[in-house]
Amino acid sequence: MWPGGVTGKTFTELKRYFPSSTRQDTHGAVWPQHEGARRVPLPDEAASLPRCPPLSPAGQWSPRTQPPPPAVGQPARPGRRLLPDGGPLPQGKVVVTGGGGYFGFRLGRELASQGMSVVLLDMNKLPCETPDGAVFYQRDIRDYASLYKVCEGVDCVFHTASYGMSGPEQLRKEQVESINVGGTNNVIKVCKERGIPRLVYTSTINVVFAGKPIVEGDEASVPFVPPNTHIDHYSRTKAIAEQMVLSANGCFLKGGGLLRTCILRPCGIYGPEERRHLHRVMVNVERRLFSFRFGDPQARMNWVHVDNLVQAHALAAEALALQRSCVASGQAYFINDGVSVNLFEWLTPLFETLGHSRPLMNLPVSLVYSAAILVEYLHVVLRPVIGVPLLFTRSEVRSIAVSHTFKIDKARRELGYCPKPYSLLDSVEQYLKSRRPRSRSVLFSMSWTSQLPRHLLAVMLLGLSLLMLMLSCMVTSN
């Protein structure tokens, strides 16, 4: 079986996604190894990850890369924003997969504003108008032919596209797998066939977190979690995809040169116009479903503002270039705001803005986790009939209840990453201003009344789950 028993398929059935060769680490997990790649250390060998050697003798600049940086004391070309270390952003043509998503769009917009030619690629339409300096193609990364077509003349790919990070999406295993693993395999193949020398992959901290506490972990000390230990398919497939990208580092490109890859592992993203985390929490608060807390009151986690994450990606691409001696080649970096917070304390401005007090009732984690199992089961079984709302999934319960914080020293040191301080309150206020007012309750909307039997059944099931929670609380308190 492929690690974690991916949707119950055999390794043979999944070989269409993966390279033809694999290796096994000391934990017994099987990892991909791309043909033509130099040997890339396994996760438990991360401390000795090699740097990519120069593609040409010192002082010679490849036409596929940018011109040499200005001499010391010489200003950069007008109109180019300087990175924190004083060097200019790399210019050229880049592709951003997942360019219709919140982060991918912000990344593409920022790169375009700095003079790059940007191709935004997404299976969904853009949330707003295409930024100046960018073009948008509505394409699916699982379609190799269309992906290959739009990547002509590209210097760098930012692979941010993924599926199943949170909510109901986590339970759609086949789609999670085909996008996160199959799509990533296509991206790597296109990079090799098109001669694209740089690939920056947006991973997740979930690849090293599987429910056990991590306090101020770093890239060298935190062990990589074998995919079969993950309870959610998103984390499992992202772990596989991350290793595919790392194993592709050093692959020979068609037409000459080597592929340089690096990994960024962000935590939860917030910022203005963010709709995934912020919207979901606010809706549940307004429905009074977020009226309890659980887990260790001292549990802490990291978050990252979207602008800081954009900065990290621009720096990572620059650190894969020859001017920086490919310092990021074959490397992974944790990315966050540089501070750790307790989720319920961090969300206090949100509760206060909505006129609610923060949750005070503390429930046992085992109780909330059991309820999450039940609701997940009902969501999957009844999906053809009704949509059962998910307050938390099992993996989300575990992420909230258990401390997992990470240092960003390596990103500061090697990439020049310097996160700016941001406030969640600013994002909350901007979100409330941009949210469309609802003129009437959904209880009386036409969409509700036309599907009344299905909605009533959903309410009954949700009420049953909440009743079980209340009864369990009473038993626990007695």
Confidence (pLDDT) at 4: 32
Q: What is 6-56+80-271+301-337+405-419's CATH topology?
A: Rossmann fold (3.40.50)
Mean pLDDT value across residues 385-401: 82
Identify the pLDDT of residue 468. 61
Report phi then psi at 126, rounded to 5.
Answer: -65, 150
pLDDT above 60 for 35: no
Tell me what pLDDT residue 466 has.
60
Domains of the chain, residue spans: 6-56+80-271+301-337+405-419
234 is a catalytic site residue: yes
Least trusted range by pLDDT, from 6-15, 150-159, 469-478: 6-15
CA distance to 188, 205, 219, 438, per residue, from 49 (Å): 20, 19, 11, 53
Averaged over 330-350, what is the pLDDT? 94
The answer, yes or no, to whether residue 455 has pLDDT greater than 80, is: no
Mean pLDDT on 288-305: 88
Hey, which residues does 157 pair with through a beta bridge? 95, 199
pLDDT of residue 61: 27
- pLDDT > 70? residue 464: no
Which residue type is seen at 421?
P
Query: Which of 320-334, 393-407, 425-439 shows the lowest mean pLDDT across its residues?
Result: 425-439
Q: How many helices (H) and strands (E) does the chain have?
A: 16, 16
From the CB of residue 35, how many other CB atoms can be counted at a distance below 10 Å?
12
Distance CA 428, CA 327 (A): 37
Per-residue pLDDT, 278: 78
Position 171 scores a pLDDT of 73
Bigger pLDDT: 83 vs 288:
288
How does residue 25 score in pLDDT terms, banded at 50, 70 and 90? low
Mean pLDDT of 371-390: 79
Which residue did the predictor score with more confidence, 201 or 292? 201
Question: What six digits make up the tokens of 458?
Answer: 């959903």
Give every CB contact of residue 400 below 8 A, 6+ residues apart in sequence. 294, 295, 299, 301, 343, 392
* pLDDT tens track for 80-138: 344 444 444 556 899 999 999 999 999 999 999 999 999 999 999 998 899 999 999 99
Return the higher-pLDDT residue of 91 and 296.
Answer: 296
Do 67 and 61 touch, CB atoms closer than 8 A? yes
- Choose between 430 and 458: higher pLDDT: 430
Of 467 and 417, more confident: 417
Candidate list 102, 234, 270, 333, residue with the active-site label: 234
Place of tokens 């707003």: 128
Beta strand 21-24 with 198-202: parallel, antiparallel or unpaired?
unpaired
pLDDT higher than 90, residue 383 = no
Tens-place pLDDT, residues 202-240: 999 999 999 999 999 999 999 888 878 888 899 999 999
DSSP labels for 227-273? GGG-SSHHHHHHHHHHHHHHHHTTPBPTTS-B-EEEEEEE-EEE-TT
Residue 23: the pLDDT is 55
Percent of the chain with pLDDT over 90: 47
With a cut of 70, say whether residue 291 has pLDDT above it: yes
* Cα–Cα dist 234/21, whole Å: 23
Q: How confident is the model at residue 361 (pLDDT cuts 50, 70, 90)?
A: confident
Confidence of residue 40 (pLDDT cuts 50, 70, 90): very low
**What is the predicted pLDDT for the residue at 225?**
87
Q: Sorting pLDDT into bands at 50, 70 and 90, what band is 9?
A: very low
Tokens linked to 15? 């070989």
- DSSP state at residue 89: P
Amino acid 165: pLDDT: 80
Average pLDDT over residues 318-327: 94
| Beta carbons within 10 angstroms of residue 189's beta carbon | 17
Our CA dihedral for 155, 158, 161, 162, rounded to 10 degrees, sits at 130
**Does the global pTM surpass 0.95?**
no
How does DSSP classify residue 404?
E
Whole-number pLDDT of residue 158: 99
Q: Is the pLDDT of residue 33 over 80?
A: no
Q: Is 50 exceeded by the pLDDT of residue 442?
A: no
Q: Which one, of 305, 471, 439, 457, lies nearest residue 381 by Cα?
A: 457
On average, the pLDDT of the chain sits at 78
Beta-bridged to residue 202, according to DSSP, are 264
Average pLDDT of the residues in 149-160: 98
The answer on pLDDT for 52 being more than 70 is no
